[in-house]
Structure 1
Amino acid sequence: MLPPYKDLVQLASTGPRDPPGQTTASFSAPLLTSLSLCEGKIQSCILLNGKWCINCERDGPLERRPTDEHGHRCIFLRTVRKENMSLDGDALSVIENPVAVSHPFHSEHRLVRLLAAVCAVGLLGGLVVGVWFLKLLLRPSSSQSPVGLGDTKETSFCNVTEDISISDPRKFYRISPENSLLEIQLGKLPTWLPVCYERWNSSLGTLVCRQLGYLLTKHKGVNLTDIGPNYTDGFIQITSEHKSSLENMWQFGSCITGKVIALQCFCGTRAKLPRIIGGVEATLGRWPWQVSLYYSNRHTCGGSIITSQWVVTAAHCVHYRLPQVSSWVVYAGIVTRSSAKMAQHTGYAVEKIIYNKNYNHRSHDSDIALMKLRTPLNFSDTIRPICLPQYDYDLPGGTQCWISGWGYTQPDGHSPDTLKEAPVPIISTKKCNSSCMYNGEITPRMLCAGYTEGKVDACQGDSGGPLVCQDENVWRLVGVVSWGTGCAEPNHPGVYTKVAEFLGWIYEMMEVKMHF
């Protein structure tokens, strides 16, 4: 038998999500009223011996009440409601003249009880659905910050869905892979148009290459007669009153001199060579932008070459050692740091060290710095610059990238002599900021890469080194090794400075000023 309704209501009203002033009991009151009406209607519509009684009088004597065609008296059933609306037969009705009730009446009596029970079950189902729906409405949004996990030491599976949408900002500049011509997509035009040679200079080339993530450039004028009849939709001219910006300096037109620009931007390439914790030894020239930063004759951090005189590293590597610029030496074009090998290489002295003014040594925010070398590097197959990312460059979770360095290969502090490399996937900020990873510590100027289960990660000694990703056959410096909880621990991937957030600062510090 079903429990009394008031007990069900009391049970349902103890849920943890009842809002103030609206309990489950008040929510179910209309349902109980409906139940009462349902029971009353069932009891007032009894079929005796297959025929409805007609002209029944509620209060008249039984012998005066009309009969049906079989001679049965019309019986009026009067409901006697107990305190809990129990559907027990003794409490359901009182028969004024039991002698007049025949066998068909008892079957109909059972039918009444059955129908009432079905009605009660239906209303109970409605009550349950209503309570469930109310709880669903009051459930906290998934975007709310989880609470109560704190500094738990248990390792839990981080079941956070990766963001799969790919941010692909529209590219307005490109270099044709067929003939190296600079092409621009102006406004909403669907076609790519070549740029006229008039008013072009090397500073413009540097600006355009910078937009594409390159820092080194070469250009020349190419005759239209030499490129064939491929461009019939028009050309892009440089306006006569352009300023030190690429915005609003292009217009649709024709080339007066009959020449267009061929542009070469280069960085982020490496010689064609065969193929960290959990990593393998790298071959010479595989990561030609990787450098070792020595402080007082000891390897301290890694870094990345971006031009012949500038190296990117982490601010925490140099923050407390800034006054001793002369104690720093940069080694490039090496993979082995043994004493014999290092004696064969001449290190590059450091002229200037600049770390970002917003660097916070507690939160590790803005953990990026620049080193200017006293003498330029000589580029070769083993010494080359890495490309910077484009503006608003964002990678979706799961993108495969690479880390390299001479850091510890075990958390207990063993540093290898040979450069190590390892693949690591990008982890979305949403997942990395979840309660089972870094619980909100990741700022917009950071990114995460690694594995949920650990095993592969950057570690001490890798700091300042590169996190690089391949993009259209060139490698880009996406991150700078910054910090993490332990090394290769589950649910604590490596955290990197997001280089794309500091492009303006990098260009400004390198004093690349354009004059037109």
Structure 2
Amino acid sequence: MLPGLEKISTKIRGLTHAISHITRSCLPWTVASLPLEHSPAQPRASGKAERKVGRLLNVHPATLIINHLFTSLILVFQLSGVCGQPSTPIDQNQGAPGTAKAKLGNFPWQALTIIYGRGGGALLRDRWILTAAHTIYPKDSFFQKNQSVNVFLGHTDIEEIIRLGAHSVRRVIVHPDYRPEEPNNFEGDIALLELEKSVLLSPNLLPICLPDNETLYSSGLMGYVSGFGMERGRLVSQLKYVSLPIAKREACEAWLLEKNRTEVFSSNMFCAGNRTIKQDACQGDSGGVFAVWDNTTERWMATGIVSWGIDCSKGYGFYTKVLSYVDWLKSIMEGKA
């Protein structure tokens, strides 16, 4: 638990104890002393068992309710404001080639979007989804622009996450620099989806943090990309992830020239991957985040968004540099834009 939240929890526990003491002093009842027909509801059992429970508890029913209420409040305080701290962290030392299946709680910020097809995203705070603009307005101009936006959260199994139900989207905000009519330019490939209602945070559903410094983009730094996209030509049924190093910009520029590519590779993008080890994000992963561990804050940061590439696992992948857009993101989420 974070130090500030620990202090709050301690105060709440102290208050709970004080209320419990006052309640017992002023109203010295026990569950057993109440008439049976007025006793709090219990699981169906024998009358003897009910009376035994009452004697063991020796508390007023209101105290039980208050204790439950404050326990719930402690949980709320623990989760509020906490980002980038998964309940089941991945083993950062497992740099084995290839993808791996994610466990529940590894990437609790992971969102599945279904708009024109599968896409990804990440939970920010408790009601925002960070994603790529091109999953909403594809570069293919023949697509309609009023497609429904479906967001799913809270599981690593595709059937289970869909069974949990879609979260209604209140608002879609695409960065003004994004140009869907320019097929070779993914500048501004970033968007926010505001959910209709705040989600109930849990160990399997937690937000990721936004980056705050350039050191998170150092070449060689490892990041993790997760998604429900393509693998070996087929859509996966389980959330997969891959670890990728941030590549040197010069290496990616040279590779694009070698391939005679004309895509824009601006300062608001970065590249990741390794030409010798064929690992990469793929179709269906777009919009998911490139997550980097920050040793200073000990939290995971959404430093990039899966944006574009040339085929899959055949070189480098290119990502929207989230740090370039943090001010814009915060202005939207804080209602200043």
Which of 1 and 2 has higher RCO (CA within 8 Å, sep 6+)?
Answer: 2
Matches within 5 A, 1:91-490: 266-272=82-88, 275=91, 278-295=98-115, 299-320=117-138, 323-324=145-146, 327-338=148-159, 341-342=160-161, 344-361=163-180, 362=183, 363-392=185-214, 394-410=216-232, 413-434=233-254, 435-436=257-258, 441-472=264-295, 473-489=298-314
Alignment-mate amino acid for residue 354 of structure 1: I
Shift of 1:494: 0.6
CA 1:432–1:379: 2 relative to 1, 3 Å: same
CA 1:439–1:282: 2 relative to 1, 3 Å: same
Q: Is 1:502 the equivalent of 2:318?
A: no
Between 1:452-461 and 1:469-478, the stretch displaced more is: 452-461
For 2:219 and 2:249, the matched residues in 1 are separated by 8
CA 1:513–1:274: 2 relative to 1, 3 Å: closer
For 1:273 and 1:445, the matched residues in 2 are separated by 29
2:24 corresponds in structure 1 to: none
Query: SS of the counterpart of 1:433?
Result: helix
Shift of 1:322: 8.0
CA 1:315–1:273: 2 relative to 1, 3 Å: closer
For 1:383 and 1:322, the matched residues in 2 are separated by 31
Shift of 1:454: 4.7
Alignment-mate amino acid for residue 416 of structure 1: V
CA 1:507–1:454: 2 relative to 1, 3 Å: same
Shift of 1:284: 1.0
Alignment-mate amino acid for residue 306 of structure 2: V
Long gaps (5+) in structure 1? 1-176, 181-216, 221-263
Checking the alignment, whether the CA contact within 8 Å between 2:115 and 2:136 is kept in structure 1 is no
Shift of 1:439: 7.8
Long gaps (5+) in structure 2? 9-79, 92-96
Checking the alignment, whether the CA contact within 8 Å between 2:186 and 2:264 is kept in structure 1 is no
CA 1:394–1:436: 2 relative to 1, 3 Å: farther
Checking the alignment, whether the CA contact within 8 Å between 2:216 and 2:294 is kept in structure 1 is no
Shift of 1:441: 3.6
Query: SS of the counterpart of 1:319?
Result: coil
Checking the alignment, whether the CA contact within 8 Å between 2:131 and 2:190 is kept in structure 1 is yes
Checking the alignment, whether the CA contact within 8 Å between 1:433 and 1:439 is kept in structure 2 is no
Name the larger-Rg structure: 1
**What is the percentage of aligned positions where both structures have the same residue?**
30
Checking the alignment, whether the CA contact within 8 Å between 1:391 and 1:503 is kept in structure 2 is no
Alignment-mate amino acid for residue 239 of structure 2: L
Question: What TM-score, normalized to structure 2?
Answer: 0.67
Shift of 1:265: 5.2
Shift of 1:323: 4.8
Checking the alignment, whether the CA contact within 8 Å between 1:278 and 1:409 is kept in structure 2 is no
Checking the alignment, whether the CA contact within 8 Å between 1:308 and 1:379 is kept in structure 2 is yes
For 1:178 and 1:306, the matched residues in 2 are separated by 19
For 2:193 and 2:110, the matched residues in 1 are separated by 14
Checking the alignment, whether the CA contact within 8 Å between 1:433 and 1:440 is kept in structure 2 is no
2:41 corresponds in structure 1 to: none
Shift of 1:436: 3.7
For 2:207 and 2:87, the matched residues in 1 are separated by 12
Query: SS of the counterpart of 2:319?
Result: strand
Q: CA RMSD in A?
A: 2.9
For 2:275 and 2:267, the matched residues in 1 are separated by 21
Shift of 1:466: 1.0
Checking the alignment, whether the CA contact within 8 Å between 1:308 and 1:385 is kept in structure 2 is yes
For 1:337 and 1:440, the matched residues in 2 are separated by 33
Checking the alignment, whether the CA contact within 8 Å between 1:454 and 1:493 is kept in structure 2 is no
Query: SS of the counterpart of 2:250?
Result: helix
Alignment-mate amino acid for residue 502 of structure 1: Y
Alignment-mate amino acid for residue 88 of structure 2: K
Task: After the TM superposition, list the runs of 4 or more consecutive aligned residues in structure 1 that deviate by more than 4 angstroms.
Answer: 177-180, 217-220, 320-323, 391-394, 437-440
Checking the alignment, whether the CA contact within 8 Å between 1:351 and 1:372 is kept in structure 2 is yes
Shift of 1:417: 0.6
For 1:482 and 1:294, the matched residues in 2 are separated by 16
| Higher helix proportion (structure 1 or 2) | 2
CA 1:266–1:303: 2 relative to 1, 3 Å: same
